C-alpha cells in the first residue's frame, strides 16, 4: 500500500473518542466613563492555534473512546437479553407441555381411584386372588403385580412431572430477573453513549468551519504518524499470510459497506458500529462470532501480529473497545466512530491490543 493511501484512508480510523471544550468568550469594550463615545463592536474570537486544536482533538478522542466502551456494554447487554428471551420462551413451552402431561396423569390416577371406589375398595386383581380356581388365581396374581407396577410408575411419573414444572418455573423466574437487570444495564449504557456523543458533537459544532477542517487534518496527521511508525518498525516484512476462502468472503462483505455511516449498536444493512461490521462480515462468510469487540477478543483464538492474515480481526485499545477487519497490505476496514463512515484505514493507526482469528 502506498504512502498516499495511508495519508488519506488510514487517518479516518484515529478518532475513537471525543470531549467538550468551551469556545473562548468574546470581549466587549464599553467604558462607562466615556461620554457619548460609541460602543465598540464585539471583538473577533481569537483563532485557535494548532496546539489548542490538538487539545480539542485529544478530548474528542477520549469522549468517543468512552462512547465506544459504552456501546460495547450496550451491545453485550442486548445480546444477553436476546439469548435470555429465547430461553424464557423455551421454558414457557416446557411448562405448557408439562402442565398438559400432568393433567393427563392426574386423569389416569383419578380413573384408577374411582374404579377402586366402585369395587368397594377391593381391586379386581384382589378379587381374582381370592378365587378357588388355580388358573384364575395365578392369572390374578400376575395382573395384580402388573397393576401395582403400573400404579407405582404412574405415581412416580406424576411426581417427576410436578418436580419438572417446579424447576421450570424457578428457572424462568431467575432468567426473567436477569433479563430485567440486563435491560437496565442496556438503558444505562444508552444514556452514557448519548451523553458522550452529544458532548462531542456540541464541541465540534462550536468550531469555525476552517477550524473543523484543520481539526480533521490534525486527526489524519496523528493517524498517519502512528501508521508510519508501525510500518517503519518492519512489521509488514513478517506478515505474509494469505486469506482463506471464508476470509475472502468476510473481506468482500466488509469492503462492500464502505461509505455507510457509523451508528452505535447498528448491525446493518444501512449502518454499522465497529463490531457490528466485523460480526456481520464473518456471518456472511458462514462463521458466527461474538457480537462485541471485547467478546471477540476474549473468545476467539489469538495469533501474533506477525502471523496475521487478511480476514483476521485486529482489536484496539487496552480495553478492547474497537475492532477492524484486516484486509492485507497493512490496512483494515472498519467503522470508526459517530460522524464517520465505514472506511479503509491503516492497521497501525490506533493502539493495537492484539489479533484474533475467526476461522482458525
Among candidate residues 16, 65, 317, 334, the one labeled active-site is 334
> Can you say whether the dihedral through the CA atoms of 285, 290, 293, 299 is positive or negative?
negative
Dump the DSSP string for 163-225.
HHHHHHHHHHHHHHHHHHHHHHHHHHHHHHHHHHHHHHHHHHHTS-HHHHHHHHHHHHHHHHH
65 belongs to the catalytic site: no
Among candidate residues 16, 65, 317, 322, the one labeled active-site is 322
Among candidate residues 16, 65, 274, 317, the one labeled active-site is 274
334 belongs to the catalytic site: yes
User: What nine digits make up the cell of 146?
Assistant: 402388573
322 belongs to the catalytic site: yes
Question: Cα(36)–Cα(207) distance, rounded to whole angstroms?
Answer: 36
Question: Cα(241)–Cα(173) distance, rounded to whole angstroms?
Answer: 50
> Which residues have a Cβ under 8 Å from the Cβ of 106 and sit 6 or more positions away?
158
Instruction: Compute the C-alpha angle 325/263/228, nearest 5°.
Output: 40
Q: Which residues are catalytic?
A: 274, 322, 334
Amino acid at each position: 500500500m502506498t504512502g498516499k493511501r495511508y495519508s488519506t484512508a488510514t487517518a479516518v480510523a484515529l478518532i475513537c473518542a471525543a470531549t467538550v471544550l468551551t469556545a473562548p468568550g468574546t470581549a466587549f469594550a464599553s467604558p462607562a466613563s466615556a461620554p457619548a463615545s460609541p460602543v465598540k463592536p464585539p471583538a473577533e474570537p481569537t483563532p485557535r492555534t494548532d496546539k489548542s486544536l490538538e487539545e480539542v482533538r485529544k478530548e474528542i478522542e477520549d469522549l468517543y473512546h468512552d462512547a465506544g466502551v459504552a456501546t460495547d456494554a450496550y451491545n453485550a447487554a442486548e445480546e444477553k437479553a436476546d439469548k435470555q428471551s429465547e430461553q424464557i420462551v423455551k421454558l414457557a413451552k416446557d411448562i405448557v407441555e408439562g402442565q398438559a402431561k400432568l393433567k393427563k396423569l392426574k386423569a389416569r390416577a383419578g380413573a384408577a381411584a374411582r374404579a377402586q371406589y366402585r369395587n368397594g375398595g377391593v381391586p379386581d386383581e384382589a378379587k381374582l386372588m381370592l378365587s378357588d380356581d388355580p388358573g384364575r388365581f395365578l392369572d390374578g396374581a400376575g395382573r395384580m403385580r402388573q397393576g401395582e407396577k403400573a400404579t407405582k410408575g404412574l405415581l412416580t411419573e406424576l411426581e417427576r412431572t410436578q418436580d419438572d414444572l417446579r424447576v421450570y418455573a424457578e428457572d424462568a423466574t431467575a432468567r426473567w430477573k436477569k433479563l430485567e437487570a440486563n435491560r437496565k444495564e442496556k438503558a444505562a449504557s444508552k444514556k452514557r453513549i448519548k451523553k458522550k456523543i452529544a458532548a462531542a458533537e456540541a464541541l465540534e459544532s462550536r468550531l469555525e468551519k476552517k477550524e473543523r477542517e484543520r481539526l480533521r487534518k490534525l486527526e489524519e496527521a496523528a493517524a498517519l504518524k502512528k501508521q508510519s511508525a508501525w510500518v517503519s518498525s518492519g512489521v509488514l516484512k513478517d506478515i505474509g499470510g494469505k486469506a482463506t476462502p471464508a476470509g475472502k468472503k468476510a473481506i468482500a462483505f466488509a469492503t462492500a459497506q464502505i461509505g455507510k455511516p457509523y451508528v452505535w449498536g447498528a448491525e446493518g444493512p444501512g449502518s454499522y458500529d465497529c463490531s457490528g461490521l466485523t460480526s456481520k462480515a464473518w456471518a456472511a462468510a458462514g462463521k458466527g462470532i461474538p457480537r462485541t469487540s471485547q467478546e471477540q477478543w476474549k473468545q476467539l483464538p489469538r495469533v501474533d501480529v506477525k502471523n496475521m492474515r487478511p480476514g483476521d480481526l485486529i482489536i484496539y485499545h487496552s480495553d478492547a473497545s474497537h475492532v477492524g477487519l484486516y484486509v492485507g497490505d497493512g490496512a483494515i476496514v472498519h467503522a470508526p466512530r459517530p460522524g464517520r463512515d465505514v472506511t479503509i484505514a491503516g492497521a497501525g493507526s490506533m493502539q493495537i491490543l492484539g489479533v484474533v482469528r475467526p476461522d482458525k
